[in-house]
Structure formats: C-alpha cells, structure tokens
Amino acid sequence: MTAQLTGRRVVTNLALSLDGHYAAPDNPQDMSWVMPYAVSDVARDHLTSLWESATTALLGRVNAEGFLGFWPTVIGMDGADPRDEGFAKWLVDTDKVVLSSTLDQAPWERTTVVDKPAAEVVGDLKATDGGDILVLSSASVIKALLAADKVDRLALTVFPVFLGGGPRLFDDGLPAGQWSLVSHTAGEHGTLALVYDRVR
C-alpha cells in the first residue's frame, strides 16, 4: 500500500511567543512562560482537537522524557481537568515513536525508539494504516519536518508574551509553499490557537 492511500497526516503542534520563539534564550528547558496560557480553555480545546484524530505520537527524546514523566501522573489526579486527563490517557495508550540517538530501549510502554532522520521516520509511518501522526512540541523534530516539507497540518498556540530572544521555529531557507487557515480561536489572556493545512 502506498503512503498516499493511507491518508495519514503529519500534524505538528507547538507553542510560540508573540515574538516568534518557542523557548527562552537563557534556559530553553524553562517553560514557565507557557504555563499561565497552557491551562486556558483555548489551549486545552486546541490540544484535544489534535489528539482525538491521532493514533501515533512522534516525539524527540527530551520532550518524550518531559511528557511521559509528567502526563501519566495527571490520570486520576484530584481536580484534574477532564481534557488534561483525556490527553494523558491518550498519550499512555497510543503508539509512541521517540527519535533518539542515545536511547537504546524505551522506558515507556507502547514506545519504539528510532535513530533515523525525522522525515524518513514519517515516511515509514505514512506507509502504514492509522490516524494522524501527532508531533507534540518537539521543536527539533518539527523544524526538520518543515525543512523537508513533510508537515500536512501546522498547529500553533500563540501566547502574548515577548521572550526577547531564543530559538525560532521558522528559520530562513524553508521550502516555499502556501498554507490554508483551517481554524482560529482567541481566548482568555489573549491566547490564540491557529491551525493551517499545507496546500499541495
């Protein structure tokens, strides 16, 4: 079966500051700037709309360790938002592919570790049956897929803060192309959720 017949989409999701950065300049691991906005209805509904049609999570190693270290603890947590708990259950139960050149085996269930370029891994996944392939906040993976023009749906949450520096998602030299706005939602704290589809 060819990849075209399965219709699997590569969906990427990342939070950006208003000045276009996905991490702070002094400490890329510090995501405290995201937290006030990540718990907004807009951000939670946005994430829910992405994982509901996905059957594979694709993550870089650093993000996998962060996500899979935290999210399972949300299941059954007192006062947990049902949307957070839904995402946590999906993440535990879904097939996960982690890109890493340093991990020998996955410490998480339903997880495959792959040491290959992101575009090649996506090509392999698209040749199989399943729902969307969701790349969760792994900027290095998303950047590699954008550079290879392998992203079918680009989902962004834009938070109204300036980080004043740090790494950017959109580097110069990306393949030229058109994108179509699928949805846009504005909400509390000025959070903006945007979804674009690649026009091919």
Distance CA 143, CA 107 (A): 25
- pLDDT for the residue numbered 11: 98
Residue-level pLDDT at 6: 52
pLDDT at residue 3 in the model: 36
Which parts of the chain have pLDDT scores under 70?
A: 1-6
- Complete domains list, the chain, with CATH: 3-199 (3.40.430.10)
Contact 43, 157 (CB under 8 A): yes
- The pLDDT of residue 175: 95
Alpha-carbon distance of 117 to 119, in angstroms, equals 6
pLDDT at residue 71, as a whole number: 92
Please state, in angstroms and as integers, the Cα–Cα distance from residue 195 to each residue in 10, 42, 129, 147, following that order. 13, 12, 24, 18
pLDDT of residue 130: 95
DSSP lists the bridge partners of residue 157 as 15, 193
Q: What pLDDT score does 119 carry? A: 97
